[in-house]
Amino acid sequence: MNTQAEPIALTRQDYLSSCDPKWCPGCGCFAILRSMTSMFAQAKIPTHEQVIISGIGCSSRLPYYSATYGFHTIHGRAPTVAMGAKLANPDLSVWVVTGDGDALAIGGNHTLHLLRRNSDVKMMLLNNQIYGLTKGQASPTTPQGLVTKSSPYGAVDKPIRPVLLALAAGATFVARVHDRDVKQMEEVMLAAQNHKGAVFIEILMNCVTFYDGAYESVTDKKTRSENMLELEHGKPLIYGENGNKGFINKNGKLKSVVIGENGITEDDILVHDAHSRNAGLSAQLSLLEFPRNPYPIGIFRQVDEPVYGEAK
């Protein structure tokens, strides 16, 4: 008599390799690795059905530290390799781990086409606003005016807005999280794991060695209620230490207001709709930046569209 074996319950430890992570003490990559492996365990997908593909950079070491399949590719080409892996074996869960330089400079073209094709690949962009592996040069997301080894008089170029780029490219799942909130990272990663289509998650990550404190005003517990806007589908766009600030539509633009002043009530505050096929509001939210506005964190867009390579 044949009996069906009970599936083995996997823990986070089962998704970790025997290699010790080689990052600077305090690097945000440690928290991201923890969140990712915890999410894999929650998703209950066997290690042999998971693939992590990376390019070049501090973040791109992550495949070595996971017990899943992995591919450490050449600079900027991880999206293309990931797309090929998914097309060759559609049953795989394919993740790309990349950095702001890897994905937006030499790999910008490949990132764009992965997202616009809506390939069923999950991309995490670890944005520390600096080239860390090559010791502190300006990257495509470095703020203007920042003095680095490659910009001794201050960075000249206007920085790329990764979330806006992903929305413009047509990614069907777009989110932003930060490395100090492990719980939220896991929740967003799990939602991404369950999404069919192109996923883009920007992770605000601190580089303790070459740009320490890049997001301190946004992530610090003492200030983040004023400087961070939590996005939740179906909930009003409210923020502030007292929960009395929000956003309304003023002449087609987002405007921050105080509830209770000038006749403004909570009913006037815009409601976040991550499921709208029109990404206009999400795009406007992606333009909000500290210090003039709070920094939006959460899922900007989550819609269903035909997936690249799947039969219609």
Tokens of 263: 């006749």
| pLDDT recorded at residue 106 | 94
Contact by Cβ (8 Å): 242, 260: no
| pLDDT recorded at residue 9 | 81
| pLDDT recorded at residue 5 | 60
Q: 302 forms bridges with which residues in the sheet?
A: 173
| pLDDT recorded at residue 290 | 84
| pLDDT recorded at residue 310 | 86
Q: Please, which pLDDT band fits residue 8 given cuts at 50, 70 and 90?
A: confident
Mean pLDDT of 134-140: 94
Chain-centre distance of CA 186, in angstroms? 11
Mean pLDDT of 292-300: 96
Q: Check whether 99 has a pLDDT greater than 80.
A: yes
Residue 23 corresponds to which amino acid? W
Contact by Cβ (8 Å): 89, 166: no
Mean pLDDT of 27-37: 97
| Domains in the chain: boundaries | 12-214, 230-303
* CATH code for residues 12-214: 3.40.50.970
Q: Check whether 1 has a pLDDT greater than 60.
A: no
**Mean pLDDT value across the chain:** 95
Q: Please, which pLDDT band fits residue 311 given cuts at 50, 70 and 90?
A: low
Q: Give the global pTM.
A: 0.95
4-13, 97-106, 108-117, 123-132, range with the lowest pLDDT: 4-13
Question: How far is residue 16 from each of residues 66, 103, 112, measured CA to CA in Å?
Answer: 4, 25, 30
Residues 166 and 176: their CA atoms lie apart, in Å, by 11
Q: Check whether 114 has a pLDDT greater than 80.
A: yes
Q: Please, which pLDDT band fits residue 150 given cuts at 50, 70 and 90?
A: very high
Q: Please, which pLDDT band fits residue 312 given cuts at 50, 70 and 90?
A: low
**Which is higher by pLDDT, 289 or 116?**
116
**Which is higher by pLDDT, 218 or 283?**
283
DSSP result, 82-149: HHHHHHH-TTSEEEEEEEHHIIIIITHHHHHHHHHTT-S-EEEEEE-SSBTTTTSB--TTPPTT--BT
Residue 169 corresponds to which amino acid? A
Q: Please, which pLDDT band fits residue 6 given cuts at 50, 70 and 90?
A: low
The string of pLDDT tens digits covering residues 191-243 is 999 999 999 999 999 999 999 999 998 899 899 999 999 999 999 999 999 99
Tokens 């290690």 -> residue: 47
The string of pLDDT tens digits covering residues 231-276 is 999 999 999 999 999 999 999 999 999 999 999 999 999 999 999 9
**Which is higher by pLDDT, 49 or 8?**
49
